[in-house]
Amino acid sequence: MQIQTIQTNAFDDQKPGTSGLRKKVKVFQQPHYLENFVQSIFDTLLENGEVPAGATLTLGGDGRYYNRHAIQTIIQMAAANGFARVMVGQAGILSTPAVSHLIRKYQTFGGMILSASHNQGGVHGDFGIKYNISNGGPAPEKITDTIFAKSKVITQYKIANLPAVDIDHLGETDFGGMNGTGKFTVQVINAVQDYADLMQTLFDFSAIKQLLASGFKMKFDAMHAVTGPYAREIFINRLGAPTASLMNCEPSEDFGGGHPDPNLTYAEDLVRIMFAGDSAPDFGAASDGDGDRNMILGKNFFVTPSDSLAVLAANATLVPAYAGGIAGVARSMPTSAAVDRVAAQLNIPCFETPTGWKFFGNLMDAGKVTLCGEESFGTSSSHVREKDGLWAVLFWLNILAQKNKTNSTPISVAQILKSHWLAYGRNVYSRHDYEAIPTDAANGVIQHIKAQFDRLPNQTFASHTDKSYMVKTCDDFSYHDSVDGSVSHNQGIRILFDDGSRIVFRLSGTGTEGATLRIYLEAFEPDSTKHDVDAQIALAEMIQIALQISQLKERTRRTEPTVIT
Q: With CB cut-offs between 5 and 8 Å by kind, which of Zn ion, ligand G1P, none does residue 290 bind?
A: Zn ion
319 backbone dihedrals φ, ψ, rounded to 5°: -105, 130
Q: Minimum distance from CB of 507 to ligand G1P (Å)?
A: 8
The secondary structure of 260-285, three-state, reads CCCCCCCCHHHHHHHCCHHHCCCEEE
- Residue 374 binding ligand G1P, by CB under 6 A: yes
- Residue 128 binding ligand G1P, by CB under 6 A: no
DSSP 8-state assignment for residue 435: E
Of positions 14, 19, 427, 491, contacts ligand G1P by CB under 6 A: 19
Contact 515, 442 (CB under 8 A): yes
- Residue 144 binding ligand G1P, by CB under 6 A: no
d(CA 422, CA 160): 62
Nearer to ligand G1P, 207 or 517 (CB): 517
- Residue 117 binding ligand G1P, by CB under 6 A: yes
Amino acid symbol at 478: S
Q: Which helix (H) or strand (E) holds 424?
A: helix 413-424
Nearer to Zn ion, 117 or 550 (CB): 117
Q: Minimum distance from CB of 359 to ligand G1P (Å)?
A: 9
Of positions 425, 444, 509, 514, contacts ligand G1P by CB under 6 A: 509
Picking from 230, 297, 217, 311, the residue whose alpha carbon sits closest to that of residue 262 is: 297
Q: With CB cut-offs between 5 and 8 Å by kind, which of Zn ion, ligand G1P, none does residue 302 bind?
A: none
Q: Minimum distance from CB of 431 to ligand G1P (Å)?
A: 8
Picking from 184, 164, 162, the residue whose alpha carbon sits closest to that of residue 173 is: 184
Amino acid symbol at 334: P
Binding residues for ligand G1P restricted to 310-339, rule: CB under 6 A: 332
- Residue 508 binding ligand G1P, by CB under 6 A: yes
Q: Is 70 exposed, middle or buried (0-12, 13-18, 19+ CB in 10 A)?
A: buried
Q: Minimum distance from CB of 107 to ligand G1P (Å)?
A: 26
Q: How many residues bind ligand G1P (CB under 6 A)?
A: 14
Binding residues for Zn ion restricted to 96-135, rule: CB under 5 A: 117
Of positions 40, 510, 556, 565, contacts ligand G1P by CB under 6 A: 510
Q: Which residues are catalytic?
A: 117
* Contact region with ligand G1P (CB under 6 A), list: 98-106, 269-277, 453-461, 503-511: 503-511
- Residue 290 binding Zn ion, by CB under 5 A: yes
d(CA 117, CA 123): 15
Nearer to Zn ion, 260 or 354 (CB): 260
- Residue 288 binding Zn ion, by CB under 5 A: yes
Contact 317, 287 (CB under 8 A): no
Q: Minimum distance from CB of 342 to ligand G1P (Å)?
A: 20
Say whether 468 sits in a helix, a strand or coil: strand
- Residue 356 binding ligand G1P, by CB under 6 A: yes
- Residue 355 binding ligand G1P, by CB under 6 A: yes
Of positions 292, 307, 388, 433, contacts Zn ion by CB under 5 A: 292
d(CA 510, CA 307): 24
Residues 6 or more apart whose Cβ sits within 8 Å of residue 409 = none
Nearer to ligand G1P, 79 or 519 (CB): 519
Amino acid symbol at 500: G
73 backbone dihedrals φ, ψ, rounded to 5°: -65, -45
Widest CA span in the chain: 80
Q: Is 22 exposed, middle or buried (0-12, 13-18, 19+ CB in 10 A)?
A: buried
Site of interaction with ligand G1P (CB under 6 A): 18-19, 117, 332, 355-357, 374, 376, 378, 508-510, 518
Site of interaction with Zn ion (CB under 5 A): 117, 288, 290, 292-293
